[in-house]
Amino acid sequence: MKKIFITVAFIGIWTLGLKAQLPVYLDENQQIENRIEDALSRMTLDEKIAVIHAQSKFSSPGVKRLGFPDLWTDDGPHGVRPDVLWDEWEQAGQTNDSCVAFPALTCLAASWNPEMSALYGESLAEEALYRNKNVMLGPGVNIYRTPLCGRNFEYMGEDPFLASQMVVPYVKGLQSKGVASCVKHYALNNDEEYRHQVNVIVSERALHEIYLPAFKAAVTEGGAWSIMGAYNLYKNQHNCHNDIMLNKILKQDWQFDGVVVSDWGGCHDTEEAIKNGLDLEFGSWTDGLTMGATNAYDQYYLALAYKKLIKEGKYTTKELDEKVRRVLRLFFRTTMNRNRPMGFLCSESHYEAALKIATEGIVLLKNDNNILPISNGKRILVVGENAIKMMTVGGGSSSLKVQKEILPLDGIRTRFDKSTVEYARGYVGDTVQSYNGVTVGRSLYESRSESQLTQEAVDKARVADVVIFIGGLNKSDYQDCEGHDRKQYGLPYNQDKLIEALAAANPNIVVVNISGNSVAMPWINKVPSVVQAWYLGSESGEAIASVLSGDVNPSGKLPFTWYSDLNQCGAHFTGSYPGVWRPAHDIIDEEYKEDIFVGYRFTDKNKLKPLFPFGHGLSYTTFEISEPKADKNIMTENDKINISVTIKNTGKVSGSEVLQLYISDLQSSVIRPVKELKGFQKVYLTPGETREITFSIDKSALSFYDDKTHSWTAEKGKFSAFIGLSAGEIGKAVKFELK
C-alpha cells in the first residue's frame, strides 16, 4: 500500500529555536478519508444537497468555497462524446472535441484478450483527460440475452465469465489515469424497448450466476469508482433506487465504496432515492424527466425536495452525509487527484490501439475453399452501403464526433491496387449521416431503384475475380441503437435477396457483416466466406482490409451464440421476451423463464446446433491441441487442480488461437448447464511452434449460487474439464473429483 510522508510540527516542542519535526506515515486511503470527514464537517446543508445532483446535462457542482472543482461526466464507452450545450443536447460548437473512436465493446469482447481491455481503458482515459472529463460513463456489461436488443453492441456478450475477465482490465486501465469508470447499466437492462417500464422477474440464482458477475468483478476486482443504475425495475422497484440491488448486494455484500449514479432520468422518487442507495442524480431533461422547468436542477428528486424533507424533520442528514462522503471520495480520486497525468487527444498511439483492438476482434466465421485471404492482382468488386457509411455517428449515447473514420471501401482501395477495385451500391438503407448535430461523411443520396442497383451489382459481379459484400446492420432506430430493439432477426433493406443474386453471379463471394448483433443468414450455404466485422471505430476500413488481405491473421472469437433462428434463443423459445403489460401500473413484467440457460447454456441443454457456437472463430493457419492432462484427479475444497495441454501451429503463417476451458458438474443436486466457461487464454504461435498452456481450477470454478442459502456452493462429487476452441468444439474430458 502506498505511504505518504507527512511533516508534523508539534506545538510546545522547541529545539534551538526550531520546531521539532517527526516523520509520520499515513495510509493514503486513510488520509483521503480524513480529508473527506474534514470537508464534510465544513459543508453547509445547501452545499451537501448541491453535490448530489446535476447542474447541467453532464456536470455536477463541486464546492467552490472549499476548493473542489466541478465534476464532469461524459458518455462512453467507445470514445469521448462531443460537448453539448449546458442545458440542451445540441452541439456546443467546439472545434477541439473530436476524438478517436475505439471499436464497440462487442469487438473488444470478441478479442478474448484482457490485454486489449487494459489498452482500451488507458487510451480512452488519456483522451478523457485532455477533454477534462472526470467520469466516463462505461463500460457496459449487461448480458446478451436476446440478439434483438438494440444496445448489445455496447456490451461484452452472453457469458458472465468472459465479460468479467474483460471488464476488469478496462476499469483498471481507465482509473489508472485518474478517470473514473462508471460501469453500466446495473442491472438486468437486457433489452431496450420500454426500458423505463420493464419489471424483470428473475430467479435469485440466475441473477447471481448470469447477470451480476461482471458487475461484481468490476467492483471487487476492478475497484470501480462509480456504477450507473439501470432504467428498468427489479421486484417492482426502479434499479436507480433499488434496496436489494444497491443497499444489499452492491454496498453491503460487495463493499462498494464508490458513487451510484442514476441513468439520465432514471430517478423517480425522492424518498426511495434517499433510502435505497442512489448517491448522484443526473437527468436527460431539465428536471430529470420532463422538459422546460424553471430552476431546472433544483427540481431534481435529490435537490430541493430532499432539503425540504430534512428541514421538516422527516430525515436527518445521516443518509445525506453518506452520499456526500461517496461523492467527495470520487472528487479525491478524480478532480482532486494531483497525480493524474496529462491527457492527449487523437494521438498516433490511440489510433494504433484502436486498430490493434479492431483487428484482434474481427471474427472469421466461415472460409470454405480458402477464399480468404485475397491476393494482390485480383479484380475486386465491393458491394453494399455499409462500405461507404460512417458508423461512429448514431446509435444513441455512444455516438461520437471523430477526427477521422476510415471507411471499408477506402481501406480496401488503399490496401489493394485502386485500379482493380470497383464499387456498386447494391442497396439503400439509411442515408442519414448525422446525430445530435454531428454531421459527417459523404452523401448517401441515391435516386436509382432497387432493381437498378441490384442489376448493376450483379453485372459487375460476373466479371470480378472476387466479390466483397459489406452489409449488415447500422446504428439507426430499431437496429443497433439505444432506445429500441430490433423488430426482426433478418437483415434489413432486402440484403438477403441481393446476397443470393450476387452468389449466383459469382461463387467467389465474401460477406462482411457489420453489426453488434447476430443476424439470420438464410444464404449461408451459398456463400463460401463470412467475416463478422462489428463497429470498428476510426480504423474500421484499415482493420477490415488488413484481415481480408491476410496482413493480419484473424483471431477473434464470438462472444455470443449465433443462432440459426430466434427459436434457438431461450428468451424467445420460452416466450418470455418482451413481457406482459400490466396496464393499471404502466409496467411490463418480463419473466426470464429460461433462467440460467442463456446462450450456449440453452442450446446445450436442448441439444440445438446454432449457426455458429459461442467462442467460434477461424484462422488462416491451423492448430493442433493435445489431449488435456491433470496433475491430480482428486481435489480438496481449498486446493487447486492444474490442467495442461500443448498447442502447435501446424500451418504456414503465424497466428493466435484462444484455448477455452469448460467445466461440467456430473453429480450436482441442482440442475446445471451442460458446461460453463471457466477459463481462456489467447496464444500467439509462429509456424511449427508448440507451447504448453496450463489452467488452474479452484472451488469457485465448480460453484453454483444456492438460492436457499443465498451463497455460492461447490458440492463434492465428480466433474469434467474440457479444453477446446469453442463451445461447439471441445476436446476430450479430464475427469476429477472434489472431496
Q: Supply the residues annotated as catalytic.
A: 263
Q: What is the 3-state secondary structure (H, E, C) of 663-725?
A: EEECCCCCCCCCCEEEEEEEEEECCCCEEEEEEEECHHHHCEEECCCCEEECCCEEEEEEEEE
Nearest to 262 by CA among 316, 217, 327: 327
Q: Which residues pair with 692 in a beta bridge?
A: 646
Query: Which cell goes with 226?
Result: 462509480
Nearest to 497 by CA among 522, 479, 531: 522
Q: How far is CA 4 from CA 10, 24, 29, in A?
A: 19, 8, 10
Q: Can you tell me the distance from the alpha carbon of 48 to that of 62, in angstroms, rounded to the nearest whole number?
A: 10
Q: Can you tell me the distance from the alpha carbon of 645 to that of 690, in angstroms, rounded to the nearest whole number?
A: 10
Q: Can you tell me the distance from the alpha carbon of 637 to that of 635, in angstroms, rounded to the nearest whole number?
A: 7
Give Dmax (Cα) for the chain.
98
Q: Which residues pair with 719 in a beta bridge?
A: 665, 736
Are 172 and 118 contacting, i.e. CB atoms less than 8 angstroms apart?
yes
Q: Can you tell me the distance from the alpha carbon of 365 to that of 611, in angstroms, rounded to the nearest whole number?
A: 10
Angle 160-175/213-220 helices, nearest 10 degrees? 30
Are 561 and 603 contacting, i.e. CB atoms less than 8 angstroms apart?
yes
DSSP sequence for 473-520: --SSTTSS-TT---S-SSPSTTHHHHHHHHHHH-S-EEEEEE-SS---
Query: Which cell goes with 271?
Result: 424518498
Query: Which cell goes with 251?
Result: 454496498
Query: Which cell goes with 52?
Result: 448530489
Q: Can you tell me the distance from the alpha carbon of 569 to that of 576, in angstroms, rounded to the nearest whole number?
A: 11
Phi (first) and psi of residue 373, to 5 degrees: -80, 160
Q: How far is CA 85 from CA 172, 355, 437, 627, 652, in A?
A: 31, 32, 11, 61, 55
Q: How far is CA 453 from CA 5, 248, 428, 460, 511, in A?
A: 72, 58, 9, 11, 18
Are 516 and 534 contacting, i.e. CB atoms less than 8 angstroms apart?
yes
Q: Is 420 exposed, middle or buried (0-12, 13-18, 19+ CB in 10 A)?
A: middle
Q: Can you tell me the distance from the alpha carbon of 76 to that of 314, in angstroms, rounded to the nearest whole number?
A: 38
Query: Which cell goes with 650?
Result: 501446424
Q: How many CB atoms lie within 10 A of CB 320?
A: 21
Q: Which helix (H) or strand (E) holds 366?
A: strand 363-367
Are 136 and 180 contacting, i.e. CB atoms less than 8 angstroms apart?
yes
Q: Can you tell me the distance from the alpha carbon of 350 to that of 126, in angstroms, rounded to the nearest whole number?
A: 9
Angle at CA of residue 665, ends 664 and 669, nearest 5°: 155
Q: Is 628 exposed, middle or buried (0-12, 13-18, 19+ CB in 10 A)?
A: buried
Query: Which cell goes with 703?
Result: 460453484
Q: How many CB atoms lie within 10 A of CB 318?
A: 8
Pairing of strands 717-726, 655-665: antiparallel
Q: Can you tell me the distance from the alpha carbon of 188 to that of 725, in angstroms, rounded to the nearest whole number?
A: 29
